[in-house]
Structure 1
Amino acid sequence: MNKNIFITGMCVLVLMMGLAACERQSNEEQSVSQESAPAVSEEQATPLSKEEFEQMYSDPVRFKGRSVDFYAKVATDPSKESNAIYIQAYVDPKNSEKNTMIGYADSSLNVKEDDFIHVTGTVADEYVGENVYGEELTAPAIEADKIEKTDYATAVAPALKTIKVNKIVKQHGYVMTLQKVEFAEEETRFYLSIENKSKDTINFNLYHTKLIQGSKQFEPEDSYYGTDYPELQSDILPGIKTEGILRFEGVDLSKGNLKMIAEGSSENYNLNFDPFKFIISTR
């Protein structure tokens, strides 16, 4: 990507974000092309370490030319030109922080606000501007070599361990299947499906679901805000199957096996249901 185009496009994007000004590097620096750039060193080819990546946000210029590999959430709909796309993204999407400007020489990329992306590329420069209060704002400007759409779990809470369960519990045509469990640092994800093979509407109540480990009980998260996780439906008609992810806080696998207990019911009040129980061995 031509560096002049990259910086110009990034200025347009920052103005869309409400910044009042965009400071550019000197004309001499802007005129440097890819053809005249020196060969990439081994250090430049190696992606920034976690510590270096954190340092980049306070001093992007120090890391110019270095490779990066990161996940982010698109903060606003990108700006496009005929041959490039310019993206503002948050590398810390949970707190809407670590603002990052990304330029990519492929305007056909189909991403929009709130999408999660995986980016590889190089640090192009520091991006400087002012907000409406006159306060200086800075952000790394990244020239992307590749951008791929991904999901919340991969970008924000990657699984450290996955256990395939595929256990089915059936009662009166109420079929509950625990497919797998993913353990991330900050959350535990249960992939569950419920199928109604009865003649009556059946019900699932999230708030009656519990996760037990030893003497500790965990409650399910009731908010899916900011994620793209599918939610289980609560009222399931005959012949319908619903699938979703139940979220609990992160657990310590060294503390022993887990037991998930869920409750189901039917609008046929003559039927009695025992709790649906699943044991997950963490060994």
Structure 2
Amino acid sequence: MSRHRRGRVITVVTLILGVLCCTVVLYGCSGSGEPVDATAGETASQTVFGSEHTGASQITDISQAAHATASTRPQQTVATSTERFTRENWAELLADSEAHIGARAEIVGRLLESPRRRDDGVSFQMYADPKNYDWNTSVSFPDPFVEVEIDDFVRVVGTVEGAMEGENEFGESITVTLISADVVEVVDVMAAASPAVRTAQVGQSLEQHGIAVTVDRVEFALDETRVFVEAANGSGSTAGFYDLVNAEATQDGTVYPAQFHWDYYPAVSWELPPGETTAGIVVFPPMDATLSVEILLQARSEDYDLLLEPFVFEVAGD
């Protein structure tokens, strides 16, 4: 092929390539002339928690700043219902959260995972029934710096946004209630406890060989009986309270064994060195709040020459 003809072919090819490039650029623009965001569809498909939550793959960790453990922010979702859900009627909300969108909600729960933080807020899942590891609830809050962490007990006030289907860590299908919160406040475990029908103030201390055990009070609730116990070791040897797992309560001829909720209520230290004190809650099944009850607690000492009898407390009826 002659040099002249090769030049013409190269020129034609160059023109064709130029036209194709222009076509691609024009096709990749929106009607306003702005380039199309190729990730826009992906972002939309990952929006699952209300109007602000985004898929976990897009969540950016933000370093914590010093912040109060109780935070209040302007309400994100406007309440459109006069309904209000609390622990007393939360089961009704779980049965059909979509039917109660816009209702107000107030509940104390426990974070079951680390919070997911973004520039515009934080989201986390919690058990709204933490004692029974139930009532899975997802909470969004427009403050990425609120100080909440996994296992924290939190009081949440907000608006119902509906529900989401998903799977738990065991691969089981679950329905999660969605709450857009305007209040998130870290509280202690007692804020999640069932209310006491009666509280018996005891304030009695018993001592053996320098080891003192005190029952401060007894709370009778519909689902459990809580005994608040303190212990002090004034002896020269380490005291052991392993036998608190064998604590007993006797009421009207019926013996109730202690129930232990590991990693829930604060517990008396199993080993107590000399000169130290400890406090915790011993839990029993529900009992009649109007009747008297006898509570038997046990302790031991590493000094095997010290024999400790059971510490027996009498709680008067109402």
Task: Compute the displacement of 1:121 (Å).
Answer: 1.0
Corresponding residue for residue 161 of structure 1:
198
1:12 alignment counterpart: 55
Of 101, 110, 128, 2:138 maps to 101
Say whether 1:177 aligns with 2:214: yes
Shift of 1:167: 0.9
Tell me the distance in 2 between the aligned counterparts of 1:260 and 1:241: 20
Distance in 2 (alpha carbons) for counterparts of 1:128 and 1:269: 58
Q: Take 1:271 and 1:180, find their aligned partners in 2: how far apart are those partners?
A: 28
The match for 1:231 among 267, 287, 290 is 267
Normalising by structure 2, report the TM-score.
0.68
Count of aligned residue pairs for this structure pair: 256
TM-score, normalization: structure 1?
0.75
Identity of aligned residues (%): 28
Q: 1:50 to 1:239 in 2, by over 3 A?
A: closer
Match of 1:251 in 2: 287
**Structure 1 match to 2:17:** none
Give me the CA root mean square deviation.
3.4
1:212 touches 1:259 (CA, 8 Å); kept in 2?
yes
Matched residue of 1:199: which SS?
A: coil
Change in 2 beyond 3 A, CA 1:50/1:233: closer
1:85 Cα shift?
A: 0.9
Kindly state the Cα deviation for residue 150 of structure 1 after the two structures are TM-superposed. Answer: 2.2
Q: Is the 8 A contact 1:9 1:86 kept in 2?
A: no
Are residue 211 (structure 1) and residue 249 (structure 2) matched?
A: yes
| TM superposition shift of 1:67 | 0.9
Kindly indicate whether residue 276 of structure 2 is the aligned counterpart of residue 240 of structure 1: yes
Tell me how far 1:79 sits from its aligned partner.
1.1
> AA paired with 2:182?
D
- Provide the secondary structure at the position in 2 that maps to 1:218: strand
| Partner Cα distance (1:156, 1:62) in 2 | 28
- 5+ residue gaps, structure 1: 17-33
Q: Which of structures 1 and 2 has the larger relative contact order (alpha carbons within 8 angstroms, sep 6+)?
A: 1
Q: 1:201 aligns with which of 238, 257, 262?
A: 238
Tell me the equivalent position of 1:66.
103
> What runs of 5+ residues in structure 2 fail to find an aligned partner?
1-46, 60-74
What is the aligned partner in structure 2 of residue 55 from structure 1?
Answer: 92
Larger radius of gyration: 2
Distance 1:167 1:9 in 2: 53
